[in-house]
Amino acid sequence: MNKAIFLDRDGVINVERGYTFRLEDFVILPDLIEVLQTLQQKGYLLIIVSNQSGVAKELYKQTDVEILHNYLQNEFTKNKITLSEIYYCVHHPDVTRCICRKPDSLFVEKALARFNIDAKKSFFIGDKERDTDAAEKAGVKGILIEANISLKTILNQIF
């Protein structure tokens, strides 16, 4: 079985600034590339799980999300980082109901099954309780961090 690191996007991968949907506002956090390379070298699959409710609220379009994710994929590829998947929920409870929005665990469970991941050897790093709630519902250990900090600060919780 595989092991994985699940990552929230805004505040963990890139600078949290509210609704981030323009490329010029998308800033990858310092040390992120180095930390993800280390995690990958230790045998972890890397998977992003993100709520993008601005789509449901019509603040931006799903194509805006895709542009950011394509940019992110390209930056990671340049640095020899492989993302297994980026899952994102475009719903918001004020607009539409779903089971994919964190704190629900649909995307985590989907990844566990799809990539044959051992939940007990995996971690979900997020800056909101809904991230760790989604992790724990799926049997994955959640690591709650402060938004916009270096992931180097929590590596000791993983290995």
Within-domain flag for 146:
yes
Q: What is the mean pLDDT of residues 21-47?
A: 97
Is the pLDDT at 97 greater than 90? The verdict is no
Query: Is residue 25 flagged as an active site residue?
Result: no
Within-domain flag for 126:
no
CA–CA dist 45, 113 (Å, integer): 13
Find the CATH number of the domain harbouring 109.
Answer: 3.40.50.1000
Within-domain flag for 115:
yes
Q: Kindly calculate the radius of gyration of the chain based on its CA atoms and give it in whole angstroms.
A: 15
Strands, sheet with 83-89, edge to edge from the N-terminal-most edge strand:
83-89, 44-51, 3-7, 123-126, 141-144
Number of domains in the chain: 1
Domain that holds residue 89: 3-121+131-153
Q: What is the mean pLDDT of residues 135-143?
A: 98
Q: What percent of the chain has pLDDT over 90?
A: 96
Is the pLDDT at 147 greater than 90? The verdict is yes
Q: What is the pLDDT, as a whole number, of residue 96? A: 87
Within-domain flag for 159:
no
pLDDT band at 107 (very low <50, low <70, confident <90, very high): very high
Are the C-beta atoms of 89 and 130 separated by less than 8 Å? no
More confident residue, 93 or 76: 76
> What pLDDT, in 10s, does the model give residues 4-13?
999 999 999 9
Within-domain flag for 40:
yes
Query: Is residue 8 flagged as an active site residue?
Result: yes
Find the catalytic residue in 8, 64, 127, 131. 8
Within-domain flag for 158:
no
